[in-house]
Amino acid sequence: MNPSEWFTEIVPGSQSAFSLKIKQKLHEEQSEFQHLEIYETETFGNLMIIDGCTMVSTRDNFFYHEMMSHPALYTHPNPKRVWIIGGGDCGTLREVLKHDSVEQAVQIDIDERVTRLAEIYFPELCESNNDPRADLKFIDGIKWVKDAAPNSVDIIIIDSTDPVGPALGLFSEAFYRDCFNCLSEDGMIVQQSESALFNLSLIGEMRDAMSASGLTHLQTLFFPQCLYPSGWWSATIASKSALKAFREQDSANKPFETVYYNVDIHKASLAQPEFFKKAFLK
Amino acid sequence: MNPSEWFTEIVPGSQSAFSLKIKQKLHEEQSEFQHLEIYETETFGNLMIIDGCTMVSTRDNFFYHEMMSHPALYTHPNPKRVWIIGGGDCGTLREVLKHDSVEQAVQIDIDERVTRLAEIYFPELCESNNDPRADLKFIDGIKWVKDAAPNSVDIIIIDSTDPVGPALGLFSEAFYRDCFNCLSEDGMIVQQSESALFNLSLIGEMRDAMSASGLTHLQTLFFPQCLYPSGWWSATIASKSALKAFREQDSANKPFETVYYNVDIHKASLAQPEFFKKAFLK
């Protein structure tokens, strides 16, 4: 294994690493906020790296983007206004805009360079960027939520990097309280919540902070994600009021294509592993 | 990343690699059949490598061993006689023997050295080896099945290495036909079936060979497995006759501990991803 031919992400906590063989480095820059790299890989298509961590590949991003959007959108009774905090690669935005009920989808990523690079190297993820319902803002998502008026959004999707650096504030009780305050009555948030195998205590802290903020009816859902540490990822939904049962019939009749998500996968993602139940659902 | 401090498995097809940081090499030998290595890792406990491929770690083997056994055993109406082809680390045997209905569990691994090393380095997986219902044979599983009398087994668990080298014959129509012939009327097989992200065409060939042998009602189930390529693994159940609905109530009241498996996880594992349905369930 010649290191110059591979991109490797070492996961410090688990002392594990995942590597992809690369054909070439396509781009590298230091943006105002982060170190960005783009590689062409042998079998995963293009690969975006932020601050040394794998973010998105052409081949396997569908798991994450579909599971960050469709379960929440099919749980809310009528999602019209959706915000995506982070999500600069625009893949979540694309999935959100597949829902006809959505009237406005605002993507708020602090780093415009992520989106500009996605437009070049992941054009398929950006194919809905010119949808008239889409609004791309390159500002601080934490401040955006803090300054928002009550009842101004139905779903907030927190599609961020790991809870270090600029994303750390997105995992705090103060941020969740600001989300609570600007959500509509049926509103909910969904946040990427790392690996239940590697980051169980972090998930516990997130859940505690969400609950302390007033959010309720937490649901952690599980899905594969080869590119991310342990290959097994999660997202956590939390609601402003009673969580509705998901719109199963609408999901079963979804009028758009997906690669991983369907109504059975939606239900399956909500099954809680035995160790997870013991940790959090006593 | 100093290569001498890490064990790395390169997956040729996907040109990806997974690595674990090691504290020390505990053992290495060339058995009559395979190259065997045991490492002590930083965070995954002990790690067994066969012919360069990760086989089992202390930390995350529970996913695989539980999902190779409990779904099949809770689907068969009354499993009394179980054979495990391969499975030399004895982790599947331990899970099978948690079921009170099982009267006899025969583990048939061609390589006795795998079991002898598991007894030393994975003693928790071997804790049921002295159960009076357990019978450990170190012979060729393909020949064992070929020579077996009709109606001599209820469930055959094929817990093998990848379909190369000694395990290749375990993925053939001839082997499945031999399984069919010795299964009882309600009998079924369950076989590890690699990654649906990396090995979809292999899964297709397996399913075709199973169907051609006379086995029917194929169900592929999905579960996380950090140690294996893509971090997302599968097993495929095939039945001699009509597949029974799984014994949901018995699973919900299971009288033993698990780490991952429970009745909800069982149902969830049967959800078929959209791309998988399109490939095989037209």
Mean of pLDDT values over B252-267 = 98
Rounded to whole angstroms, the Cα distance separating B14 from A281 reads 38
Domain co-membership, B72 together with B102? yes
Among residues B36, B57, B78, the one where a domain terminates is B57
pLDDT digits over B75-92, tens only? 999 999 999 999 999 999
Domain co-membership, A70 together with A183? yes
Domain co-membership, A238 together with A208? yes
Mean of pLDDT values over B106-130 = 98
Is A260's Cβ below 8 Å from some Cβ in B? yes
Is B18's Cβ below 8 Å from some Cβ in A? yes
Angle between helix B173-182 and helix B200-212 axes, rounded to 10 deg: 50
Q: Does residue A104 sit in helix, strand or coil?
A: strand
Q: Which of A67, A212, A275 is nearest to B63 (CA)?
A: A275
Is A45's Cβ below 8 Å from some Cβ in B? no
CA dihedral of residues A276, B49, B140, B107 (deg, nearest 10): -30
Token pair for residue B14? Answer: 């996907």
Rounded to whole angstroms, the Cα distance separating B137 from B192 reads 20
Residue of A nearest to B23 (CA): A15
Catalytic residue set of B = 159
pLDDT tier for residue A65 given thresholds of 50, 70 and 90: very high
Contacts of B130 (CB under 8 A, 6+ apart): none
Mean of pLDDT values over B133-139 = 98
**Catalytic residue status for A140:** no
Across the interface, of B1, B275, B277, the residue whose CB is closest to A17 is B1
Domain co-membership, A31 together with A150? no
Residue of B nearest to A267 (CA): B268
Domain co-membership, A22 together with A140? no
Contacts of B42 in chain A (CB under 8 A): 15
At residue B70, the pLDDT reads: 98
Contacts of B6 in chain A (CB under 8 A): 17
Structurally, how many domains does chain A consist of? 2
Among residues B22, B40, B57, the one where a domain terminates is B57
Contacts of B95 in chain A (CB under 8 A): none
Across the interface, of A15, A20, A271, the residue whose CB is closest to B42 is A15
With contact defined as beta carbons under 8 Å apart, do A107 and A97 qualify? no
Average model confidence (pLDDT) across chain B: 96
- CATH at A260: 3.40.50.150
CA distances from A50 to A56, B35, B72, B79 (A): 9, 38, 42, 51
Domain co-membership, A88 together with A43? no
Q: Listing from the earlier edge strand, what are the strands of the sheet with B104-108?
A: B134-137, B104-108, B81-86, B153-159, B183-192, B232-239, B216-224
pLDDT digits over A71-81, tens only? 999 999 999 99
At residue A161, the pLDDT reads: 85
User: Do the Cβ atoms of A19 and B20 come within 8 Å?
Assistant: no
Task: Give the DSSP letter of residue B124.
Answer: G
Domain span including residue B168: 61-280
pLDDT digits over A109-132, tens only? 999 999 999 999 999 999 999 999
pLDDT tier for residue B245 given thresholds of 50, 70 and 90: confident
Element (H, E) at B122: none
Domain co-membership, B118 together with B39? no
- CATH at A32: 2.30.140.10
Nearest-neighbour CA in chain A from B47: distance (Å) = 13
At residue A2, the pLDDT reads: 87
Contacts of A17 in chain B (CB under 8 A): 1, 6, 8, 17-21
Domain co-membership, A180 together with A81? yes
At residue B74, the pLDDT reads: 97
Lowest-pLDDT range, A157-161, A243-247, B76-80, B128-132?
A: A243-247
Average model confidence (pLDDT) across chain A: 96
In the set A111, A154, A159, A186, the catalytic residue is A159
Mean of pLDDT values over B151-168 = 90
Is A13's Cβ below 8 Å from some Cβ in B? yes
Domain co-membership, A98 together with A16? no
Residue ranges in B171-199 assigned as alpha helix (H): 173-182
Mean of pLDDT values over B142-148 = 97
Instruction: For the beta carbon of residue B275, count every other beta carbon within 10 angstroms.
Output: 16
Is A253's Cβ below 8 Å from some Cβ in B? no
Mean of pLDDT values over B210-216 = 97
With contact defined as beta carbons under 8 Å apart, do A43 and A19 qualify? no
Query: Measured between alpha carbons, how far apart are the two ends of chain A, in Å?
Result: 46
User: Do the Cβ atoms of A232 and B222 come within 8 Å?
Assistant: no
ipTM summary value = 0.96
At residue B282, the pLDDT reads: 65
Across the interface, of A16, A21, A262, the residue whose CB is closest to B19 is A16
Nearest-neighbour CA in chain A from B179: distance (Å) = 31
Q: Between residues 230 and 249 of chain B, which touch chain A (CB distance below 8 Å)?
A: 230-232
Domain co-membership, A37 together with A160? no
Is B258's Cβ below 8 Å from some Cβ in A? yes
Across the interface, of A3, A43, A259, the residue whose CB is closest to B15 is A43
Nearest-neighbour CA in chain B from A129: distance (Å) = 25
Across the interface, of B19, B226, B258, the residue whose CB is closest to A230 is B226
Rounded to whole angstroms, the Cα distance separating A214 from A223 reads 26
Q: Listing from the earlier edge strand, what are the strands of the sheet with A153-159?
A: A134-137, A104-108, A81-86, A153-159, A183-192, A232-239, A216-224
At residue A172, the pLDDT reads: 94
pLDDT digits over A173-217, tens only? 999 999 999 999 999 999 999 999 999 999 999 999 999 999 999
Contacts of B121 (CB under 8 A, 6+ apart): B26, B27, B38, B46, B48
Q: Which of A2, A5, A49, A50 is nearest to A24 (CA)?
A: A5
Contacts of B226 in chain A (CB under 8 A): 16, 197, 230-232
Per the DSSP assignment, residues forming a β-bridge with A192 are A235
With contact defined as beta carbons under 8 Å apart, do A109 and A87 qualify? yes
Rounded to whole angstroms, the Cα distance separating A94 from A128 reads 5
At residue B266, the pLDDT reads: 98
Mean of pLDDT values over B229-247 = 91
pLDDT digits over B38-64, tens only? 999 999 999 999 999 999 999 999 999
Is B60's Cβ below 8 Å from some Cβ in A? yes
Domain co-membership, A195 together with A262? yes
Nearest-neighbour CA in chain B from A41: distance (Å) = 9
Mean of pLDDT values over A72-93 = 97
With contact defined as beta carbons under 8 Å apart, do B77 and B187 qualify? no
User: Do the Cβ atoms of B230 and A230 come within 8 Å?
Assistant: no
Q: Which of B48, B224, B54, B30 is nearest to B122 (CA)?
A: B48
Q: Where are the beta strands (DSSP E) in A12-162?
A: 16-30, 35-41, 46-50, 53-57, 81-86, 104-108, 134-137, 153-159
Nearest-neighbour CA in chain B from A261: distance (Å) = 6
pLDDT digits over B187-198, tens only? 999 999 999 999
Residue of B nearest to A13 (CA): B43
Among residues A12, A36, A57, the one where a domain terminates is A57
Mean of pLDDT values over B226-251 = 93
At residue A282, the pLDDT reads: 65
Across the interface, of B6, B260, B262, the residue whose CB is closest to A17 is B6
Is B14's Cβ below 8 Å from some Cβ in A? yes
Domain co-membership, A85 together with A23? no
Backbone angles phi, psi at B45, to 5 degrees: 70, -145
In this predicted structure, the answer to whether residue A242 has a pLDDT above a threshold of 90 is no
Contacts of B220 (CB under 8 A, 6+ apart): B193, B196, B203, B207, B234, B235, B236, B237, B272, B276, B280
